[in-house]
């Protein structure tokens, strides 16, 4: 049994996640855009991402993003004890049965959504991501049509004691993911968010407001000509991510619905 003097030898959440990120050899989380939005008969529809948000599964979303971070090389199976996953995401008492159950149930939800498969390698439990669209197809490293969320979501934060993944609410994480689906200065009317991304306008607006207050997002109203509007003009709301997540260097040319 460890003494009180040995407690400083136990890895912290930050040390654990730093080790996982370093081992990945990546600088960003690569995720196919079909995880968030898919096309069917020329129309947009939500991807599996919406299920995490609608079910209030913040822990599951972070765990999934961390898995994709770690699965950086074929065969993409990640073998880690459940306590390591729990500790990396700052779950209290990560070696407890409660923490292990929390991780296991999150994996079970992802298995049911055909986002992962579970197995064993040399007596170690493994988790392997499947294609991000929820089709159950085998995972491959994305090379086209994917978004990248900077690894500084894991390694940096608003203070030395907090990381972004620890402080961002589910609504803020949702808005951050959606912003990564778009270019700089993008327009996105809240009323279109349910059809595009499967989350409520209220959730999106709360997320945007939270990111703005944290200095992670800039927004502005842009005036544009509208010949058929009573005043001859209208406005659209436009957004750009701030460091460390943006700007992305590509300006959006798309227009949104008018206010």
Question: In this predicted model, what pLDDT tens digit does every residue of 194-211 receive, in sequence order?
Answer: 999 999 999 999 999 999
- Residue 61 CB contacts under 8 Å (≥ 6 apart), including other chains: 49, 52, 53, 170, 173
Cα–Cα distance between 240 and 93 in angstroms, integer? 38
Cα–Cα distance between 156 and 145 in angstroms, integer? 26
CB 197 within 8 A of CB 188: no
Q: Looking at residue 259, what is its pLDDT?
A: 33
Q: Looking at residue 11, what is its pLDDT?
A: 93
Q: Looking at residue 40, what is its pLDDT?
A: 81
Q: Looking at residue 234, what is its pLDDT?
A: 78
Q: Tell whether pTM > 0.85.
A: yes
pLDDT tens digits along 101-149:
999 999 999 999 999 999 988 888 899 999 999 999 999 998 888 899 9
Could you list the beta-strand ranges (E) of the chain: 28-32, 37-40, 43-46, 78-79, 116-121, 124-129, 146-150, 186-187, 217-225, 233-241
- Find where tokens 């929390």 sit: 102
Cα–Cα distance between 24 and 22 in angstroms, integer? 5
Q: What residue ranges of the chain have pLDDT lower than 70? A: 1-8, 254-259
Domains within the chain, CATH numbers bracketed: 11-166 (no CATH), 168-259 (1.10.10)
Concatenate the DSSP letters of all residues of 88-147 into one string. Answer: HTT-SSTTSHHHHHHHHHHHHHHHHTTSEEEEEETTEEEEEEB-TTSS-PBP----SSEE
Smallest CA-to-CA distance from 174 within 197, 147, 146 is with 197
């Amino acid at each position: 049994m460890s003494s009180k003097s040995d407690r400083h030898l136990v890895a912290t959440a930050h040390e654990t996640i730093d080790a996982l990120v370093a081992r990945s050899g990546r600088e960003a989380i690569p995720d196919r855009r079909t995880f968030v939005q898919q096309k069917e008969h020329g129309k947009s529809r939500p991807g599996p991402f919406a299920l995490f948000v609608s079910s209030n599964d913040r822990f599951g979303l972070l765990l999934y993003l961390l898995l994709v971070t770690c699965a950086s090389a074929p065969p993409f199976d990640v073998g880690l004890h459940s306590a390591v996953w729990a500790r990396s995401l700052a779950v209290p008492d990560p070696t407890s049965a409660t923490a292990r159950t929390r991780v296991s149930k999150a994996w079970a939800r992802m298995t049911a959504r055909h986002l992962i498969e579970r197995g064993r390698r040399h007596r170690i439990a493994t988790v392997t991501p499947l294609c991000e669209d929820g089709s159950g197809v085998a995972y491959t490293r994305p090379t086209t049509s994917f978004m990248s969320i900077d690894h500084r979501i894991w390694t940096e934060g608003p203070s030395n004691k907090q990381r972004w993944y620890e402080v961002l609410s589910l609504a803020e994480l949702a808005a951050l993911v959606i912003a990564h689906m778009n270019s700089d200065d993008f327009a996105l009317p809240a009323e279109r968010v349910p059809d595009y991304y499967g989350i409520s306008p209220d959730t999106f607006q709360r997320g945007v407001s939270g990111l703005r207050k944290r200095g992670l997002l800039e927004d502005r109203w842009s005036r544009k000509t509208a010949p058929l509007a009573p005043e001859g003009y209208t406005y659209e709301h436009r957004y750009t991510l701030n460091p460390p997540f943006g700007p992305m260097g590509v300006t959006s040319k798309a227009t949104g619905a008018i206010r």
